[in-house]
Chain A
Amino acid sequence: MTGSQLLLYGARRILFIVPVLLVALFLTFALTRVVPGNPIDRVTGPYVSQEHRAELKHQAYLDRPFYEQFAFYLRDLAQGKMGTSYTTAQDVSTDLRQRFPATFELVTYAILLSILIALPLGVLAAIKKDSWIDQIARVVSVLGVSMPIFWLGLILLYIFFYYLDWLPGPVGRTGSVLTSTQPITGFLTVDSLLRGDLGQFGQAWRALVLPCVTLAFVAMAPIARMTRATMAEAMQSDYVRTARSLGLPFRVVVFRYALRNALIPILTIIAAVYGYALGGEVLVEIIFAWPGLGLYSYNAILSSDFPAIQGFVLLVTLLYMMIYLLLDVLTAALDPRVKY
């Protein structure tokens, strides 16, 4: 597809997202109302008077019919307001904005790391079938999808923090010292460099290692597996046979013919892995006390913080949809057979 065609394709896909997003919104909203009882009763103790409770309910629109509540929610949403959190007393959107960078940094590095390892591993395993590297790839793949991510995190934490004391414990992004400097990009690893604070730079990295590796190991597995499978298939294909019959060097055959074709299904897997990572990182944040969206949602669940949970699900879903869209457009760019 040409560049302009791609843009149109992307625009069309974005348009498709809107109805899906609305339905998702509705679903999320409906889910919170499925819970028996109402938020006010669950959050307030027995010492709050009936009138006060009624007042709170009125403020939270809980005395209106369902569709009205939804309408109010949508209206607020359009203004960027997601309701007030019961625990932080801020608007949920503010909460989310504050917690987002931590999660984004963690997930981004984790996915990058997993691609960096899984892709070459898969390619090598496919080329040298049944060699030792193929065995390693297979073992890593099958282990990665079999292990509970929260268990892996705990094991790594135990080995590297408790036992060897090489890396910081589960105390968040900076290992020990809390900083309250204004973020620039939100990425501590980047901001500290920009500010010239090498001490914090090192600390940020050290704190990132374990949670990142945990997430990456699990993300690596399906990518390596898909890469190996599609590469192996590509290497058996007719067009690779043609390329070899023309005497093209092996390097070219592997990268320009096989990998180039195999990349397309691999991209789909990466999108799926990203979705998985968004879920898995909730568990990772809980274990490592990483102050991101995941930990936020966990605390929200524990304290029945309705607006917070709603906001979290919404944001994460939106992120996921955007990543999927991005990868869809990328696939269209790479595969000329995709019809606009």
Chain B
Amino acid sequence: MALLEVRNLRTSFFVRSGELNVLDDVNLEIHQGEIVGLAGETGSGKSVTAYSIMRLLKEPGRVVGGEVVWDGRDLLRVWDSEMEQEIRGKQISMIFQNPREALNPVISVGKQLTRVLEIRRRLAKGEALAEAVRLLRSVHISDAERRLRSFPHELSGGMAQRVMIALALSSHPRLLIADEPTTGLDVTTQYQLVQLLRELRERTGMSILLITHDLALVAELCDRIAVLYAGRIAEMGPVENVFRTPRHPYTSALIASRPRQGMTGEIPTIPGNVANLMNPPDGCRFHPRCPNVRQVCTEQQPPLASMEPGQMVACHNPIAVPIKVAVGG
């Protein structure tokens, strides 16, 4: 039984010119203890997926269809209060990009932590303080007691991200949604963060939904990957499989477009522009840019179907012959 099942999720932004259909029929599954990567270009709808699941979408965005099943309940149909009290922070937590802006600038790190502990886990002041220190240590922040008195603007990016992780973990959630957690951080810090996330999964069995545009990150950390294009899942499957034998032309192009050591000549790019979400192409949204395009692609939307070797692909004309691609370049 999957921990989280997202079925046919559909989210739109209602703007001046009409309805911007950002997510159209998104399907995801996350199992206990799994790290799933949701990968895609900027504007593909990755963050919107996360906000839709957590119901933190801001106007003018709205979820207009689908189900988000957690523990047998559809989160899109529970009361606001239940979402706030039961789910957010307790069952599902989230960490964000730009960690320094995502923390309350006028309250010390320690106070932010202890407040969350006091409110959500009903700890007494002294207990909360001790637990805060423990949490900071668990995310490998050195000199934890002193750090309690720091303010967000005094922290480095990596440190702030760890603090956010500590906050997110404070109530022992079963799923952590990480929205571009490493963007903007230097490579060393990124590496440390990745190690930390992996360690957390080992230690607590927590699942992680990693949202990113960085394929290397996915390759490094995730068990499974879901590729998002123009609001739809193009391909989904175990990381090894998808990277070695991508079935969807988009996935293949993405992987091929990464600069690698020893490359010569031009970096291959994907021709054309990202699909216009106000007026998306008929049929498969990728068809205007696809090298494998066929007539049916311009008419019918391809369903997400199971395909060798153990992946799900939404394509009328998937790549049949496995292409060897160097992984982790």
Contact = CB atoms under 8 A, between A and B. Distances in A.
The answer to whether A and B belong to the same complex is yes
Interface string A252-270: 1000110011001000000
A176 B282 CA distance: 84
Interface in B114-130: 115-116, 119-120
Contact of B88 (A244, A257, A264, A336): A244
Contacts of B170: 246
Contacts of B167: 242, 246
Contacts of B116: 246, 248
Contacts of A260: 104, 106-107
Contact of A238 (B101, B106, B119): B101
A245 interface: yes
Interface stretch (B89-97, B235-243, B244-252): B89-97
B190 interface: no
B255 interface: no
B93 A246 contact: yes
A336 B93 contact: no
B96 A252 contact: no
A239 B105 CA distance: 8
B104 A246 contact: no
Contact of A247 (B58, B88, B104, B164): B88
Contacts of A252: 115, 119
B27 interface: no
B105 A337 contact: yes
A230 B48 CA distance: 26
A335 B94 CA distance: 27
A246 B92 CA distance: 9
A337 B153 contact: yes
B105 A248 contact: no
- Give the secondary structure class of A's interface: helix
B58 A236 contact: yes
A166 interface: no
Interface string B230-268: 000000000000000000000000000000000000000
Contact of B87 (A238, A241, A247, A248): A247
Interface residues of A, number: 24
Contacts of B119: 248-249, 252
Contact of B89 (A239, A246, A264): A246
Given A242-B164, A256-B115, A247 B105 contact: no
Contacts of B319: none
Interface in B71-120: 84-90, 93-94, 96, 98, 101-108, 115-116, 119-120
Nearest to B50: A245
B12 to A, nearest CB: 20
A244 B56 CA distance: 8
B248 to A, nearest CB: 31
A67 interface: no
Given A246-B88, A247-B84, A256-B115, A239 B120 contact: no
A334 interface: yes
Contacts of A245: 54, 56, 88-89, 93-94, 96, 168
Interface of A: 236-239, 241-250, 252, 256-257, 260-261, 264, 334-337
22 contacts: A239-B103, A239-B104, A239-B105, A241-B102, A242-B102, A242-B103, A242-B104, A242-B167, A245-B93, A246-B167, A246-B168, A246-B171, A247-B85, A247-B86, A247-B87, A248-B115, A249-B84, A249-B85, A256-B104, A264-B106, A337-B106, A337-B151
Given A245-B93, A248-B115, A256-B107, 10 more contacts: A236-B58, A237-B101, A238-B101, A242-B102, A246-B88, A247-B89, A248-B119, A250-B84, A256-B115, A261-B104
Interface of B: 54, 56, 58, 84-90, 93-94, 96, 98, 101-108, 115-116, 119-120, 151, 153, 164, 167-168, 170-171
